[in-house]
Structure 1
Amino acid sequence: MTSPPSLSTKLMRIGAGLLVVALASIGLTLWLTWQLDGGAAAVNEAGRLRMQTWRLHSAVQAQLPPADVAALVGQFDESLALLRSGDPGRPLSVPWDDTLSREFAAVESLWQVQRARWLQGDAALEAPQQDVGEFVEAIDRFVRTIEKEIAGLTAILNLFQYLMMALAIGGAVVMLYSGYRFVISPLVSMRQGQKQLEAGEFSVRVAVNSHDEFGQVAAGFNRMAATLQSMYEGLESQVERKTRRIEAQRARLEALYEVSAFLAGANNIEELSRGFSQRVRRIMKADAVAVRWSDEANQRYLMLASDCFPQEMQEEERSLLAGACACGNLQPDARTRVIPIQSHDAAPVRHCAKVGYQNVVSVPVRLQQRLIGEIDLFFRGEIALNADETELLDALASHLASALEGLRAAALEREAAVGEERALIARELHDSIAQSLAFLKIQVQLLRSAVQKEQAEKVQATLDELDTGLRESINDVRELLVHFRTRTNTDDIEAALQETLHKFQHQTGLPTRLEMEGQGLPLPPDVQVQVLHVLQEALSNVRKHAQASHVSLEVVKGARWRFTVRDNGTGFDVTHAHDQTHVGMKIMRERAERIGAQVKVVSSPEHGTAVTLTLPPYPVTASGVDTVGLDLPASPFTEHRAMIP
């Protein structure tokens, strides 16, 4: 059976029907109007034939030149051709029918006779006056016939205008009636039912008279009223039941929150497992609890902690072979279950039976679908777990697994941090002191060669290089120690910047100035670390190359923090900034990229240098970069490698 049409379908059908009728009427009216316009133009053109006939007759009698008479004849031919074919552009069209065709044929026949006479010139003077009058009369009959056809079309047009007026009125009536029947009346009924429902009459029902949208709404209203009536009749019992359920859920959430808070604050596995077992026993009202942990092969279970568990059983079950007892007998797809202890003689449960336990609840502990342990709750009486309690135990087991994994991950992270810090120190020592020592070794070889060859000037030059290299090495060591002692502030970076400039001033003797302006959110500590690295590298380049007498650090706080190290030194040509002798600039850019920042260097010879570090709106240090503290800055002394002959 086909489903009844919806309200929108009904309205669309009614509207589409009225639209089709209206469009058809408008199209027919436009066609009739076009016909009337063309017929009116045809009447005018046919009336011109009479005037042209009398002009021809007058021209012949006045004995005008034959050329003028021929021109008038040509005009008459053009008018006949225009009437015969019409002109859509004007528009001009004759409403042809059998009568009009006969009248037009008669005019053309008489015209052929008159045309031959008028083209003969003097012979037309002998034509009788009555022939011309007969020709004009034929033209008049043709014109009257056209006018008669136009009058008929006009009557039809008027009729259609009356019909369109009636159609508009009828359409309005149909739309009003449809709106009242399909929309207004159902809405009034629904409103009355709503008022009764608001007054507390839950037995009210709305009549469903259709299957459209309002019928569906009415049916939904009736179902809602029935539901409200049912709920109202048993409201007290439902409220009491819901209250008990909410209270139970609150207790479970409170227990889950308590255990989660404890697990988050535990510092070691012993404290964590012991406190967990105590809390789980109290929450589930168990007589004893044992937390067991499985080895990698799930072949043996080790008891991590227990609460109220008999001492003699603890010694026997401290390391339990998988499958030797009801505990520690989990399958990969095991779920939380209640295991009854039914016989004192059954070997797997004889110890529990002797103590007086009747049931044990086994809760598997999983981490990422891998079975890693078990929680056993012992009861001296009957126990039945509902779905909520089972869900709570599973959640507690999941939190325990996550907490233990978190402790393991923290230990691994500390180990990795120590290893990373050592690797950073080794790398920085290799890039600074080791390179300096390699440079000094080469200079010693050059010195030995110069001594052997008794090249005094080269010996002195090499000694100067050694002296310079040693001073640079000492400065590098001091700079590394300064960087090791640098600390950041989680609230504001200003203190770290002041300390960095103070150490730079103490090391170089150059006056420094710190300028800070604007307001912005504090930078994260790891971002502060990278910022200080870049600034220290820029200050190190000033110390080594700038030959400046003053250094300033300008800080602009805002959505994008901006740091500018400015000196009044010798400067350099920035077009050669990527040369191997400018390793420091490369290091600064690499460090800036770690937090998505940009480094811009503006300098020119004899006009100083400005190094600007611009941070993104939300700078974030790449994962695993500088998470254990400040690493050592790459020493600019590596630039000596490019100068080794």
Structure 2
Amino acid sequence: MSAAPAAAAAYPPIPGHLRLSSRIAGALVGFLLLALAAIGATLWLSWQLEGAGAAINETGSLRKQEYRLAMLLGRDVHTPGAGFDSAARAQVASIDATLALVAQGDPQRPLGLPPTATIRDSFAALAEQWLRDVRPLALRVLDARGEQRVLTLRRFLSEADPYVDRIDTIVRLIESDNEVRTFWLRSSQLALMALGVGGTVALVYLMFSLIVRPVERLHAGMRSMADADFGVRLEVDSKDEFGQLATGFNQMADRLERVYGSLEEKVREKTAALEDQNRELALLYDSAAFLQARQTLEPMCEGFLERILQYFGADGGSVRLVEAGNEKVHLVAQQGLPEEMVEAERCMPLGDCLCGEAALEQQPVVHWLHAMPDAARTPCARSGFGTVSAFQIFDQDQHLGVFTLHFRSERRFRDQEQALLDTLGRLLGTAIENLRLAAREREMAISEERNMVARGLHDSIAQGLNFLNLQVQMLDDSLRHGQQQEAAEIVPALRAGVKESYEDVRELLQNFRSRLEEDDLNSALRKAVRKFRDQTGIDAGFSAEGAGSLPFSREEQLQILFIVQEALSNIRKHAQADHVSVRVVDGQDFSLSISDNGVGFDSSAESDDGDRRVGLHIMQERAEHIKAELGIESRLGAGTTIRLHVAREQRRAA
């Protein structure tokens, strides 16, 4: 018997009325319907009582309104023109509105007359009497004049008292009806309580018989099973889900008895599977660690190829990269391939041969050469290989090339092995792309260094050479016109310009040769200050406070060092100072100050000294490069202070 018919025989479909869910749902739905009916009756009676109570209040208020109307009419008759006429008419309108409200009802409040014919007919007669007799009589009192008003008022008063008595009668009828409904409300509440108690008892019994007792039997069986008593069996006494669960428990016990003897074999199989997974993890870890090491492309590909050949037991393999935009496939590394095959396929068109086709399709492919009709003409088959497999090299979605595994015999790959090779191809692709990115980064660093040198030469040396060029032109002009005295005056200026340009070149070369030793910014700054003091003879000091919350990168430290060197150069050229102080405060924020006691300048005005302006401009550019703030404080005769500040947020971002 197959597994599906056996399962169908052991677990036949359960009739709908015998299903545990149907019985529990039926009991709960029945109890819910009874509870909803009782709650609905209670809510309906409560709503009726609230509406009748509001009707009692509104109907009872008619008595007060009738008496007020009579009072207003009397005052209007005895004191005409005192404004009681409009108040009486407003009172008539209020009585009209009250009668209409009670007659129509208001479900929002709620308000409404009880649904009793006697009460509704009595109220309708009351409203009709008001409209037919009482209301017209009140209006005639307001419209009459002289003695006629008094007579009409007396007639109204004689009609008002019986009308108020009729209102009292209706109020008592509503109150009597409320007493009956209150009795039924209490009765429905008591019935709801009884239903809750009875339903709870019934549900507890139902849950105990349907769920608790079978679960206890199942729990006892599981406890025996946990004590290695595989001979325990449960009695199947129902045809519901618990009956099938007991059947399944018995089948599980039978299966455990059979499996328990072959447990060692299962353990060996699982152990072998775990060993395979551990080998895969070891290969992935070893390959990832190797590919992350600093190395060039060919040794990296050769090491990668050596690892996967050893893992899969391949007889040969290769790594080929696609040349972007040229549709060429280049052989970067190989092992185990014949020399003539290597020379012939060192650079092949995209789509040529088996490897080129795999690179073109960008899909993993395995060729069993013995089963291919024209395989004998391929270089791989002529070299004695029976299986050629090609797997892609990707960096995210960018296709970089293929790597191949060659086997002498037929080799098939499991899905797990193909997934492993796909992962290895992506690891290699990421490593290759990292090499390319590192090369681009070095190119950008060299380009930036060249730009920095060019800017330094242009901003410092070019101006000095331009000055010398002007002086030479003036000297040539003086000699041509025989003005020896004027030529003699130009020569010292030329000598001073040449000396100044020579010193600028020396200083610029020293700055460009500056390097940080062991990423220690303070040591580099202290060395620069000491060199400045030795070269110029100016008293210069350096101090540093704090250890810093976050270190600067080497590029940022170099920019700070260049700013200090440029500031010291400006002091040498322009300040005429005899004392310089460089101070570093390295806490959450980084602060650097360079102060001198020289002649100073007006920092708020546009300087006429182009050389000084160029130096300040260079320092400002370097500060912006590391997202720092550069400030200059200077006054004529009071020295100059340059402050560099790097906020904690910018430092964390760096």
Q: TM-score, normalised by structure 2?
A: 0.69
User: Contact conserved, 1:29 with 1:160, CA < 8 A, in 2?
Assistant: yes
Query: Which residue is equivalent to 2:222?
Result: 200
**Structure 2 SS opposite 1:544:** helix
SS in 2 for 1:570: coil
Q: How far apart, in 2, do the equivalents of 1:165 and 1:360 lie? A: 91
Residue number among 125, 150, 174 corresponding to 1:98 in the alignment? 125
Change (3 A) 1:398 1:529: same
Structure 1 position 535 matched with structure 2 position 564: yes
One-letter code of the match for 1:496? A
Deviations 1:603-628 (A, max 9, x none): 333333332222243548999xxxxx
Is 1:396 aligned to residue 404 of structure 2? no
Instruction: Write the distance in 2 (CA, Å) between the matches of 1:404 and 1:117.
Output: 113
Deviation at 1:337, TM superposition (A): 0.9
User: Matched residues in 1 for 2:160 and 2:518: separation?
Assistant: 110
Contact 1:301 1:373 in 2 (8 A): no
Following TM superposition, by how much is the alpha carbon of 1:592 offset from its aligned partner in structure 2, in angstroms? Answer: 1.9
The structure that is helix-richer by fraction is: 2
Partner of 1:513: 542
Question: Does 2:575 match 1:557?
Answer: no
- Contact 1:488–1:529 (Cα < 8 Å) also in 2: yes
Unaligned runs of 5+ in 2: 1-21, 104-122, 226-232
Ranked by relative contact order (alpha carbons within 8 Å, sequence separation 6 or more), the top structure is 1
- Identify which range, 478-487 or 152-161, moves more after superposition: 152-161
Change (3 A) 1:142 1:81: farther
Q: Structure 1 residues 409, 348: closer, same or farther in 2, change over 3 A?
A: farther
- Answering whether residue 407 of structure 2 is matched by residue 384 of structure 1, we say no
Q: Is the 8 A contact 1:94 1:146 kept in 2?
A: no
Distance 1:150 1:571, change over 3 A: farther
1:470 to 485, 498, 502: 498
Residue of structure 2 in register with 1:84 after alignment: 92
Query: Which residue matches 1:153?
Result: 174
Structure 1 residue identity aligned to 2:343: R
Report the alpha carbon displacement of residue 25 of structure 1 after superposing the two structures with TM. Answer: 6.7
The alignment status of 1:609 with 2:634, answered yes or no, reads no
Mapping 1:23-422, distance limit 5 Å: 32-47=52-67, 70-71=78-79, 81=89, 84-86=92-94, 97-99=124-126, 101-102=128-129, 119-120=146-147, 137-158=158-179, 200=222, 236=263, 241-265=269-293, 267-286=295-314, 288-291=315-318, 293=320, 296=323, 302=331, 304-307=333-336, 313-315=338-340, 317-320=342-345, 330=358, 332-333=360-361, 334-341=363-370, 347-348=376-377, 358-363=386-391, 365=393, 370=399, 372-379=401-408, 381-404=409-432, 406-407=434-435, 410=438, 414=442, 417-418=445-446, 420-422=448-450
Aligned to 1:487: 515
Determine the structure 1 residue equivalent to 2:576. Answer: 547
Q: Which runs of 5+ in 1 are unaligned?
A: 57-67, 624-645
Aligned partners of 1:324 and 1:348 also within 8 Å: no
How large is the Cα RMSD of the aligned pairs? 5.8
* Amino acid across the alignment from 1:147: D
What whole-Å deviation, never above 9, does each CA across 1:504-530 have from its counterpart, x for those lacking one? 222332322323236412212122122
Contact 1:38/1:92 (<8 A) preserved: no
In the alignment, residue 605 of structure 2 is paired with which amino acid? H
Instruction: Determine the structure 2 residue equivalent to 1:631.
Output: none
Q: What is the number of residues matched between the two proteins? A: 586
Counterparts of 2:482 and 2:65, CA distance in 1: 129
For the Cα contact (< 8 Å) 2:394–2:400, is it kept in 1?
yes
Q: More displaced, 71-80 or 313-322?
A: 71-80
Taking the aligned partners of 1:155 and 1:432, their CA distance within structure 2 comes to 112
Report what 1:576 is aligned to.
605
Distance 2:71 2:653 in 1: 101
Query: Hey, what's the Cα distance between the residues in 2 that align with 1:92 and 1:351?
Result: 105
1:86 aligned counterpart, secondary structure: helix
Contact 1:518 1:558 in 2 (8 A): yes
Maintained 8 Å contact 2:566/2:615: yes
CA shift for structure 1 position 142: 1.7
CA offsets, 1:15-73, max 9 Å, x none? 999999888777765654554444444323434677899x89xxxxxxxxxxx963179
Q: C-alpha displacement at 1:144, in angstroms?
A: 0.8
Quote the Cα distance in structure 2 between the aligned partners of 1:184 and 1:562: 80
Q: What SS does the corresponding residue of 1:523 show, helix, strand or coil?
A: coil
Which of the numbers 625, 628, 631 marks the counterpart of 1:600? 631
- Taking the aligned partners of 2:209 and 2:550, their CA distance within structure 1 comes to 59
Q: Which amino acid aligns with 1:314?
A: E
Query: Which amino acid in the other structure matches residue 614 of structure 2?
Result: V
Q: Do the aligned partners of 1:505 and 1:511 also contact (CA within 8 Å) in 2? A: yes
Query: Residue 622 of structure 2: which of 591, 594, 603 is its match?
Result: 591
| CA contact 1:577–1:585 (8 Å) conserved in 2 | no
